[in-house]
């Protein structure tokens, strides 16, 4: 304790260590698959009360999922007690529109008397995991959450990190928490029933993280772009694992896992992507918006003299090669200054935008020339 004049101060300091597994498997709910039982065993020797929440879009295409959950629980009665039937929640971005899904789940948690040692098993895409994670992170200040992402975007990005959120006040991810999951179990079998648009969406995040973190990975994506465009498992699955690994590495070693600072390199291309999603009322999905945002900020990096023409063309070649269209009419309605200010406000501090100084080399800048960025928007339109 220090005493100075009229002020006494006790300086509190402590560190909290987080550890959670991120597994990659198939048939995760098969009673003989050890991945999920091992997760529950990490929670202690007791029989655990578990509430299962699933994306209703997933249940529509996989009606046998409910039976699979029941068979798993029946085979592992020593570990798992299902507290009720599977709770179906609206899928996709509607899951994140305000607090409707969150409040509903909080009521279910309260009704079943779940405690902080209980589990929520969330099965669904990234948006569903965001909303369920917010409910889990705020009920009793935190219930154990096991994420089972069912989309490429969920498995390689949205489902593996420490953030949970919903949209509010016309802003992306305005309400949310930093709450690491208890575990993540990625089941590649879920990808088999995804439509092409959903499969493609997750590739944008892989391109993004490769561009700012790993030039060798970007070159691998470039070489595999035809196989990725055809969604061949031999290309998709290594891409998912490597992308998830790079995101986890940044959270672990980047020095700012809960984003106390102003830099947000993993959100390369996201300042415009988030706004475009809102402007189009979800017509442009997250992965598609990220592809557009990456293209826009790569073009801006080139026009700022940071990125070579050759590198820029290779970025366009990869994004278009896997099937993204690098323009949308909604870009014409983008208020660049307002979008940048909203992005700055979401994190706080001064504006920090990631640009490219080469393949695999992200750099942070504190200001954007709005007129030059407008010209880049126009150039994407002309190019399309």
Would residue 2 count as lying in a domain? no
pLDDT at 77: 96
Residue 48 near residue 79 (C-beta atoms within 8 A): yes
Phi, psi of 48 (to 5 degrees): -100, 135
Instruction: State both tokens at 309.
Output: 């023409």
Q: Which residue has the higher pLDDT, 239 or 3?
A: 239
Question: Is the pTM above the cut of 0.75?
Answer: yes
Would residue 16 count as lying in a domain? no
Same domain, 122 and 216: no
Q: Is the pLDDT of residue 134 over 90?
A: yes
Same domain, 208 and 89: no
pLDDT at 257: 87
| Average pLDDT score over residue span 225-243 | 98
Domain boundary among 193, 215, 238: 193
Same domain, 215 and 158: no
Buried-state track 7-31, b at ≥16 Cβ within 10 A, e below 16: eeeeeeeeeeeeebebbbeeebbbe
Give per-residue pLDDT as tens, 323-346: 999 999 999 999 999 999 999 998
For the chain, the average pLDDT equals 95
d(CA 298, CA 302): 6
Structural domain containing residue 139: 22-193
Would residue 214 count as lying in a domain? yes
Same domain, 379 and 311: yes
Would residue 37 count as lying in a domain? yes
pLDDT at 3: 59
Which CATH number characterizes residue 224's domain? 1.20.1090.10
Same domain, 169 and 309: no
Same domain, 95 and 56: yes
pLDDT at 1: 58
Same domain, 305 and 182: no
pLDDT at 4: 63
pLDDT at 8: 86
Same domain, 143 and 50: yes
- The 10 Å Cβ neighbour count of residue 196 is 11
Query: Which range among 218-222, 253-257, 273-277 shows the weakest confidence by mean pLDDT?
Result: 253-257
Give per-residue pLDDT as tens, 259-280: 888 677 789 999 999 999 999 9
Same domain, 153 and 227: no
E strands present in the chain: 2-4, 7-9, 22-25, 48-55, 80-82, 87-89, 119-124, 144-149, 163-168, 171-178, 183-187, 353-356, 362-365
Q: Is the pLDDT of residue 347 over 90?
A: no
Q: Is the pLDDT of residue 230 over 70?
A: yes
Same domain, 27 and 45: yes
Instruction: State both tokens at 213.
Output: 């973190």
Give per-residue pLDDT as tens, 150-205: 999 999 999 999 999 999 999 999 999 999 999 999 999 999 999 999 999 999 99
């Amino acid at each position: 304790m220090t005493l100075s004049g009229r002020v006494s101060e006790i300086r509190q300091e402590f560190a909290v260590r987080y550890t959670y597994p991120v597994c990659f498997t198939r048939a995760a709910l098969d009673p003989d698959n050890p991945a999920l039982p091992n997760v529950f065993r990490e929670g202690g020797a007791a029989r655990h009360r578990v509430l299962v929440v699933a994306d209703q879009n997933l249940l529509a295409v996989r009606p046998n999922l409910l039976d699979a959950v029941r068979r798993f629980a029946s085979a592992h009665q020593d570990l798992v007690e299902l507290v009720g039937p599977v709770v179906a929640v609206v899928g996709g971005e509607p899951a994140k529109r305000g607090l409707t899904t969150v409040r509903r789940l909080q009521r279910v948690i309260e009704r079943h008397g779940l405690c902080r040692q209980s589990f929520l098993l969330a099965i669904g895409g990234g948006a569903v995991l965001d909303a369920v994670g917010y409910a889990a992170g705020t009920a009793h200040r935190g219930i154990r959450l096991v994420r089972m992402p069912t989309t490429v975007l969920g498995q390689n990005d949205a489902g593996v990190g420490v953030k949970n959120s919903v949209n509010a006040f016309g802003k992306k991810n305005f309400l949310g928490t930093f709450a690491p999951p208890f575990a993540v179990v990625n089941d590649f079998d879920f990808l088999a029933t995804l439509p092409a648009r959903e499969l493609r969406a997750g590739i944008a995040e892989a391109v993004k993280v490769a561009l700012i973190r790993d030039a060798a990975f970007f070159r691998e994506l470039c070489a595999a772009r035809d196989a990725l465009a055809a969604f061949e498992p031999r290309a998709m699955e290594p891409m998912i694992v490597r992308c998830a690994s790079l995101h986890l590495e940044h959270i672990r070693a980047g020095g700012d896992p809960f984003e106390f600072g102003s830099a947000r390199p993993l959100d390369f291309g996201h300042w415009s992507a988030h706004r475009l999603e809102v402007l189009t009322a979800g017509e442009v999905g997250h992965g598609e918006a990220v592809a557009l945002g990456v293209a826009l900020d790569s073009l801006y990096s080139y026009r700022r003299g940071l990125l070579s023409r050759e590198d820029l063309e290779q970025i366009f070649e990869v994004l278009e090669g896997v099937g993204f269209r690098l323009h949308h009419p909604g870009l014409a309605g983008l208020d660049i200054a307002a979008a940048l200010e909203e992005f700055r406000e979401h994190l706080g501090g001064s504006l920090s935008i990631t640009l490219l100084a080469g393949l695999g080399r992200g750099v942070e800048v504190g200001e954007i020339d709005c007129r030059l960025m407008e010209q880049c928007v126009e150039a994407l339109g002309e190019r399309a």
